Amino acid sequence: MSVQYTPVIWNRNKIFYDAVLLIAVALYLYVYIRVAPGFEDVTKPIDGATLRMRAFGSCAFLMLTVILCIGPLARLDRRFLPLLYNRRHFGVMTAGIAAVHANYVLGWYYNFSPTDKYVALLSSNTNYGQILGFPFETLGIAALVILFVLAATSHDFWLSFLGAPIWKALHMFIYAAYAFVVLHVALGALQGAGDPIFTSVVAASVVLVSALHFTTGRMEARRDRGEETAKASLQEQGWLVAGDLDEIDDDCAKVVTLSDDERVAIFKYDGKLSAITNACAHQNGPLGEGKVLWGCITCPWHGYQYNLSDGRAPAPFTEKISTYRLQLIGSTILLDPNALPPGTHVDPVEIGEAA
């Protein structure tokens, strides 16, 4: 791990993101613990330990709700993307807040237990065969364990080490954690004295998370159907599916073979895609293995360069190579197999503006 480890590189955006998050959490806890009790209309005020327990528990629940809303909101409106970029920081902080809540619970209810407090927590209620009276504590523990695992594997090292499919599947357990938390609250805190505000908050959270994911799912289903129709139409016109956008690394190319003597290099660079013949005009060097610099590809054999948008060598050189048209439907790259005359300009496909 030490050989592959890459330290977190903090930048201004991350610092600002975390600062706003910390201020929001601190403000919520302050209002809940210091300000809100002054508006209570009860004969017996809630003790400080219980108040802090509820403050941190409700804060963790609201943070988890926001985390699950960020993804669909970013798909519905790109203005939410800044919240998505450092969402893992949000998750790590949520795990920390939830841990403080759990610590207050153990300290208040089990600190003076004659048995070990963890043993007492798990053995005090074992009525797993019923709904009312179900040991909701185990649901909270399950949620906390998941949050800890996700926080511990949130660094890009684990994304690289585990691979994107496994890492993504692991972090989908955030939904299981949310379900456990909702059940933990519904079978625990909501079974006590009536609290219409907290009950409404929990219900609103479930409705909001479900509605956003349902809306986003329908939107993406319609988009997928549109993409399939567009791809089918282009294929009928003779366009070829050249692969997926994720198959090409930045400033690199994917080489597509059209025939034994015709290969096309599709380059991804500067947020764009361009396609040129893979054969250098000098001695047929493999341009797809070259390096992209300032929008030009450099042949790895003898250093000849060509502009990726028109296949022309920079002045004063006059070499020209064939270019090809591309389409990007979703993340699928389609290629027109008909080569354009050497030196023909083709507007690069902007990745951010895919159909």
124 close to 113: Cβ distance less than 8 angstroms: no
Q: Are residues 148 and 269 in the same domain?
A: no
Task: Give the number of other Cβ atoms within 10 Å of residue 288's Cβ.
Answer: 21
Give the pLDDT confidence of 57-74 residue by residue, as tens digits.
999 999 999 999 999 998
Whether the pLDDT of residue 355 is over 50: the answer is no
Query: pTM of the full predicted structure?
Result: 0.70
**233, part of any domain:** no
- pLDDT confidence of residue 193: 61
**201, part of any domain:** yes
- pLDDT confidence of residue 23: 96
Cα distances from 286 to residues 253, 263, 277, 301, in angstroms, run 11, 9, 9, 8
Place 259 in a pLDDT band, splitting at 50, 70 and 90: confident
Whether the pLDDT of residue 260 is over 90: the answer is no
Q: Are residues 195 and 266 in the same domain?
A: no
3-class SS of residue 153:
coil
Domain end (from 156, 189, 222): 222
Only one residue has tokens 């090809």, namely 324
Q: Are residues 69 and 210 in the same domain?
A: yes
- pLDDT confidence of residue 175: 96
Report the chain's mean pLDDT, rounded to a whole number. 86
Place 323 in a pLDDT band, splitting at 50, 70 and 90: very high
**231, part of any domain:** no
Q: Are residues 201 and 274 in the same domain?
A: no
Query: DSSP string covering 218-252, please?
Result: HHHHHHHHHHHHHHHHHHHTT-EEEEEGGGS-TTE
Query: Measured at the alpha carbon of residue 313, what is the angle toward residues 253 and 315, in degrees to the nearest 5?
Result: 145
Which two structure tokens, joined as six digits, stand for 266?
Answer: 């599709």
**Alpha-carbon gap, residue 7 to 219, rounded angstroms:** 37
Mean pLDDT of 184-204: 82
Mean pLDDT of 286-306: 88
Give the pLDDT confidence of 130-146 residue by residue, as tens digits.
777 788 889 999 999 99
Domain end (from 222, 253, 272): 222
Residue 349 structural domain: 241-353
**Alpha-carbon gap, residue 207 to 197, rounded angstroms:** 15
- pLDDT confidence of residue 325: 93
Percent of the chain with pLDDT over 70: 93
Higher pLDDT pick, 195 / 263: 263
